[in-house]
Structure 1
Amino acid sequence: MPTKAKIRLYERSEHCISRSQISDNALKVLYKLKKEGYDAYLVGGCVRDLLLGREPKDFDVATNADPDEVRKIFRNCRLIGRRFRLAHVHFGKEVIEVATFRGNGDVQDEKQMLNKEGRLLRDNVYGTIEEDVWRRDFTVNALYYNIKDYSVVDYVGGMEDHKAGTIRLIGDPETRFREDPVRMLRAVRFAVKLGFNMHPDCQAAIHANAPLLDSIPPARLYDEVLKLFMVGYAVQTFEMLRHYGLFQVLFPATERSLAVEQDGFPKLFLIKALQNSDNRITEGKTVTAYFLLSAFLWEPVQTLVRNLLSQGVPEFMAYQDAANEVVSRQLKLTAMPRFITTAMREVWSLQPKFNARVGSKPNRLLSHPRFRAAYDFLLLRAETGGADPELAEWWTKYQNANENEQRKMTQPGRNNQKKSGFKRNLRRSSQNRPKATES
């Protein structure tokens, strides 16, 4: 990997970054490091976002001070990490991450840092800023804001790519993706978030290397899934992940169900769920990971439920067994926490119970802790052809009715309910599209 680059210095008059846009705590860290005789730069996403006129979520600092030296300077500092040690300087709820410039080491050291697939296993080699730039992933994330003279230092043409709206890998894309396959997901995330286009070399390398994500620990992939889908760009992200063959690595059972869709189902259901999530984030409302993940895996669950029902398994057991099987398989890919999978199971298991509208059952369901999420899930199904709209309307009216009205609504004969209604709807919906088989 190259260790030298043609430097381009953008003076203060040539860029739009102002200290007034930078966190006061980040400035404290930068100035303190400078006062102690060290180099100090803002780097990464914060510089990229400042150049776009956006407010950065985090401010990251790069320096030639090693982690122990940073800890000596800041009493409110904690060191973290194994693969690469980082210093976290705490200011209440805000944390400024300080990273020492990474180096390349000698050839033997570099070979020892990679596994047989070429993935980077450890990176505790410190170096210079000229070496550090080659350890970063994309050119637009490798711009350094120097606190000494307020200039932006560019070693890899990041400023030009920034102006052109291009996501480009630093170095050979094949090699960089093999070092860390998660960079493929990051490429998609940045392209969608920033509204940038991927460089053709980057696109080709993703198509060729998507299966490498299988080597990433499931816990890390779960974290990446949250970053991809819980920030307000879920619909575009979903489409781009599918385009590059990455979604099928993360959610293979869901991708198989999409391969047999008919009349837009179940893709329409997923798109609606993603749109709702994006809308809530835009409106400043909270979103829950378990709801979106429930939507992702709903069709695989239903596929297994249909198979189990056809074998004579009782409905309750069919849903329980199907949920367990789908979740078990997905955990091997994205290690979801138990509280997430528990909530998902509850949302799924409550769906057939919405069909019970006589006697005390509706009131018991209304008092269930997960009722609201399950009801929203029912509305989503009704909007996209997966449930009877009349059923959703009934539950909307029921939960807003007073006690007397609720008693009248749940009297026998009031809603022409049949016990087999949910199973009938399930069979009817399956007739509208080819059956998928789980393998």
Structure 2
Amino acid sequence: MSNMMDVATEDNLQYQFFPVSSGSVQFKVRAAHDAHIALTMHPQESDPMYEVFIGGWGNTKSVIRRNRTKPEKVEIDTPQILNAGEFRGFWIRWDSGIISAGREGEAIPFLSWNDPEPFPVAFVGVCTGWGASGTWKIEESPEFDTPDQLEYKFGPAVSGILEFEYRGPHNCHVCLTAAPAEVDPMYEFILGGWENTQSVIRHCRQKPEKVTVPTPGLMNPNEFKRFLIEWRCGRLAVRDGETGAVLMEWQDPSPFPVTHFGVRTGWGARGLWRIKHFPAAVPPSAPQAQALYATPPGYPGGVAVSPAGGAQWMNATGGQVPPGAVPGGQDSNGEPMFVARAQHEGATLPGKLVPSHGCAYVPWGGAENGKNEYQVLVGGSNQWIPTNGANVPPGAFQGGQTEDGEPLFVGRVHHEGSVTIGKVQQSHGVCYISYAGQELGFPDYEVLMP
């Protein structure tokens, strides 16, 4: 998936991270010495972690290190491999535990190590230090093509928007899924289909189409056409990448969390793609604060618990994260989640805010329910106590109530590589979380304390 970035790194040994969807990264760097590259599962320095140091020790040698510990896994002399006055090109690959680094234009790596306990790499970080600053040009991989075989190629969807360019005669197909595979639930966008005469939005590979619009001559085999696909709390939109005009849109009444995208061509067409899928920063907002547990507009009843620790519930919409929001977990791709709550079916339900999805999610009725309007806990405690069953600690943080008036507490669960925030219902003896479109109950959980 192609994506070029220009990055400047200061002399501070602080990594700047970006997501990757393939097993390699190509880059050029201009630095006197000490170009450091990290491979991680999350967008921060956390174990497990690979590090490749190029031109370290005064631009004399390069090494591979695991989990920031010595001894080095491999070390080689590389005198003058970097240059402060010109860009030098390199590549790094990871495949089945084999970590390797090589120079641009050379197929044989100058560094290579086989990890007996490999882990999936989802992020790459770059930095410089030890007296060196650097300028980087980073490209995840070159543009790629899709053959005429209606088979999706998948990558991670790390934000609520996908920007791409496509060159082909017709049948540009894009899907959004909750896994890197053709599985339901699934959104599909067919642009320039039916011999480049119309475009559609399809849900779960089923007809009739949710949206059909005439788009004669939309695609061009000799010219790249740019598009944007957006998803926010079930609202899907396809925009012209040049003008921003909406070509198609549809609101899914039962949205699911999108984690991956796929691209393909077919029906006699081959396509060439350039895809950008780095997350756009969600600007902080400062909506009007509500007193802790005060009944917000439209919310039934209230929760009779005194404020504690200066915490407040703040109204927000569309993925907004108020300053001081309490981070209670993280998605499986490493994105932070925040403690949130929302109204649903007469209840006030604790849940999770995932900023890149543009909404909060609350568990109810066996399903994951996306909410464009929600409240975020601001300025509160971030103390979590492990417990199980109906053993809710005295004084646990009460974040809402059921439609019948039973108190609900804020809990979280470790599940499928995530730490997901949900509701603790003491009478059921579980913490319910929303995950991959479902409401899941866990007897072992952590509960938020004031």
| TM-score (structure 1 length as normaliser) | 0.26
- The structure carrying a bigger strand percent of its residues is 2
Which of structures 1 and 2 has the larger relative contact order (alpha carbons within 8 angstroms, sep 6+)?
A: 2
Which has a greater percent of helix?
A: 1
Please, what TM-score do these two structures have when normalized by structure 2?
0.26
Instruction: Name which one, 1 or 2, has greater alpha-carbon Rg.
Output: 1
